Amino acid sequence: MNPQPRMIDSTGRDLSYLRVSLTDRCNLKCLYCDPHPGNDPASENALPRERILELLRAFAWLGVDKIRFTGGEPLLRRDIVDIVRDAGQIDGVRLIGITTNGLLLAEKLDGLIAAGINRLNVSLDTLRRTTFKKLTGVDGLERVTSVIQAAALTGAFPRVKVNTVALRGINDHEAPALTEWALDIGLDIRFIEFMPARHAESTKELFVGEEDIRERIKLPLEPAGDSLHNDGPARTFFVPGRPGRVSFISAVTESFCEGCNRLRLTSTGILRGCLFGTSSFDCRPLLGQGLATKAIAEVIASHATSSSFRAQPFTESSLSTRPSMRGIGG
């Protein structure tokens, strides 16, 4: 397969990264995402595996080489291992990742690795059992921490990444302990600024900026690699002599739109250009019609590269739109 043309948006950003939500169902009730999921019922119209693969082949034809499966909770899909395996067999796909809350990961980890997953992000906001239950509605801390450590020991991933949403008065004081835990095990802990979601608790009272977290950590952080940006919004640092890393994803205090290379596909087949944008394109009419991969790809590219589909750098405000994180895939 010879991907031509690549998707270059109207400001020259190469769209080579696709986040795919496999379901908008979740088995947690996190207060920063959707503590009352009954307000926004999960869809029963998630794309079947065959239609997902149709789209992935089209995106790969356009130069997408990194795919991350998200949700909701992607491991709720019974066919998740098959989806990963099929995606890995698409010509041009280089990186396949999953972002999960980890509750179901232990029983699926070996199968996912065998299927070809080579990037893993696990959400974890605390090392305290009571706080975990308060944040998620589930008593599952030990299950998540143990599978994170098991995954790190497999050697299947450069580093298991731990996504931690910093929340004032709830877990911000745990930043030093979380950091030490990650540095010792060899994880990449990523502190994420609380972003507004449709049904989340109040942003203003809970928001903690990157600067506050840095002050709490009080460690000598040195930039990792040639650039602080590693094919995504995270700015990554290492601590001399420690195997782990520390990253920051600061959508509120630091804009990363200028280097954003990602598109988002919802579980129902809607393509989104920006997490906090409003433009979208319904891919479903292209599917199941016997269209060639190239034909599907050309239609997708015509929308994804249009000047109105993605935010212009430094113009999109993460405070002006409140997306459903379960629906769009975070």
The stretch 94-123 carries a mean pLDDT of: 98
Q: How many CB atoms are closer than 10 A to CB 40?
A: 14
pLDDT tens digits for range 133-180: 999 999 999 999 999 999 999 999 999 999 999 999 999 999 999 999
Question: What is the signed CA dihedral for 324, 327, 328, 330, rounded to 10 degrees?
Answer: 70
- What does the pLDDT look like over 45-68, one tens digit per residue? 899 999 999 999 999 999 999 999
Least Cα distance to 160 among 150, 170, 173, 169 occurs for: 150
- CA atoms in the 13 A half-sphere facing the CB of 296: 24
| Ramachandran quadrant class, 316 (left: phi over 0; alpha: psi -120 to 50; beta: rest) | beta
Omega cis (within 30) before 176: no
Residue among 243, 237, 242 at smallest CA distance from 213: 237
Confidence of residue 228 (pLDDT cuts 50, 70, 90): very low
Residue 240 has pLDDT above 50, yes or no: yes
Distance, CA of 124 to CA of 269 (rounded, Å)? 28
Q: Which CATH class is domain 17-328?
A: alpha beta
pLDDT tier for residue 227 given thresholds of 50, 70 and 90: very low
Quick check: 30 and 275 in contact, CB under 8 A? Answer: no
pLDDT value at residue 203: 63
With 60 as the cut, is the pLDDT of residue 254 above it? yes
